C-alpha cells in the first residue's frame, strides 16, 4: 500500500523521523509504539497526508467543534460524500437517514445520550468516542488512529478496537497500551528518537521486545526482524 525509503521528517524545525524505511501492505493491522517524542504522531500524520483519499484519521487533537451537537460533529465525517446544499440543509434540519445512521453508530460506541447534545457538555471519554464515530462515519477502507482510546478503560478500548477492525481493511494505529499492541495486531512497529527499532509480526513478538524498546535497548532478535514484513 505504501513504502518509504530513508524518510526524514521534521516537526517544529526538529528532526522527528530519521531515515526511516518501511512498507505497509493493504489489509495489515499495524500498531506503532514508542516513548513520548519518538516521532509516532509525526509519522502517522504523514501517512494520512499520503493516504487521505482512502483513509479516515482519528487524531489526538480531535478537531471537534464545541458549539455543535454530537450529531453534527459525527456527520462532518460524511461532508465529502454530499453536495454542499445537502450539507447546509442538514445542518439546519437533520435528515432522517443520517440521523438514524449516526444514532446507531453512537449506540455501538456506548454514547448513551441524545446526539443533539452539545459537544461542550461531554466528558473527555465521550468526546474521544465522538471523534472516533466521525472517523468511522467516513466509511474509508483504511483507519489511521493516534491513541484513539487513550481516555477509555481497557474493556471499552477492546470493544472499540474490534469495531474499528470490523469496519476497515487496513488499520494503522499509535497505541499507548502495549498489551493491546501485543495481543491484537498483525505487526508491531517500534520507534525511538525517530528511528525504526522494531518491526516484528505478531507471531514473533513478545513483551521483552517492547520492554527493551522502552528501556532504550533493542535486542539482537528485534534488530534481526527489522523490515520483516
The pLDDT value recorded for residue 182 is 86
| Mean pLDDT of all residues belonging to the chain | 88
Angle between helices 96-108 and 124-136 (to 10 degrees): 120
What span, in angstroms and rounded, lies between the C-alpha atoms of 106 and 100?
10
Domain boundaries, the chain: 1-54+140-229, 65-138
Is the pLDDT score of 217 beyond 80?
A: no
Residue tagged 534488530 (cell numbers): 223
Whole-structure pTM value: 0.86
CATH number of 1-54+140-229: 3.40.50.300
The per-residue pLDDT for 191 is 92
pLDDT digits (tens, 9 = 90+) for 21-73: 999 999 999 999 988 888 999 999 999 999 989 999 998 888 899 999 999 99
Among 96, 128, 94, which residue's Cα sits nearest to residue 111?
Answer: 128
Q: Considering the chain, what percentage of its residues have pLDDT values greater than 90?
A: 63
H/E segment holding residue 50: helix 40-51
What pLDDT was estimated at residue 210? 84
Question: How does pLDDT run across 81-99, given as a tens digit for each residue?
Answer: 899 999 999 888 999 999 9
Amino acid at each position: 500500500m505504501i513504502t518509504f525509503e530513508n524518510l526524514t521528517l521534521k516537526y517544529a524545525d526538529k528532526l522527528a523521523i530519521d531515515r526511516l524505511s518501511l512498507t505497509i501492505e493493504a489489509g495489515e493491522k499495524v500498531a506503532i509504539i514508542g516513548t513520548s517524542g519518538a516521532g509516532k504522531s509525526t509519522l502517522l500524520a504523514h501517512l494520512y497526508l499520503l493516504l487521505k483519499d482512502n483513509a479516515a484519521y482519528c487524531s489526538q487533537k480531535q478537531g471537534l467543534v464545541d458549539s455543535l451537537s454530537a450529531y453534527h460533529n459525527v456527520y462532518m465525517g460524511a461532508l465529502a460524500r454530499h453536495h454542499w446544499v445537502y450539507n447546509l440543509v442538514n445542518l439546519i434540519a437533520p435528515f432522517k437517514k443520517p440521523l438514524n445512521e449516526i444514532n446507531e453508530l453512537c449506540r455501538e460506541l456506548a454514547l448513551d445520550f441524545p446526539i443533539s447534545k452539545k459537544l461542550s457538555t461531554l466528558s473527555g471519554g465521550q468526546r474521544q468516542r465522538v471523534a472516533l464515530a466521525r472517523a468511522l462515519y467516513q466509511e474509508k477502507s483504511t483507519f489511521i488512529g493516534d491513541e484513539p482510546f487513550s481516555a477509555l478503560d481497557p474493556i471499552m478500548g477492546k470493544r472499540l478496537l474490534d469495531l474499528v477492525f470490523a469496519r476497515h481493511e487496513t488499520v494503522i494505529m499509535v497505541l499507548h497500551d502495549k498489551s493491546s499492541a501485543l495481543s491484537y495486531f498483525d505487526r508491531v512497529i517500534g520507534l525511538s528518537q525517530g528511528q525504526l527499532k522494531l518491526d516484528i509480526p505478531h507471531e514473533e513478538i513478545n513483551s521483552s521486545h517492547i520492554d527493551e524498546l522502552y528501556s532504550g535497548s533493542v535486542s539482537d532478535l528485534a534488530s534481526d526482524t527489522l523490515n520483516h514484513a
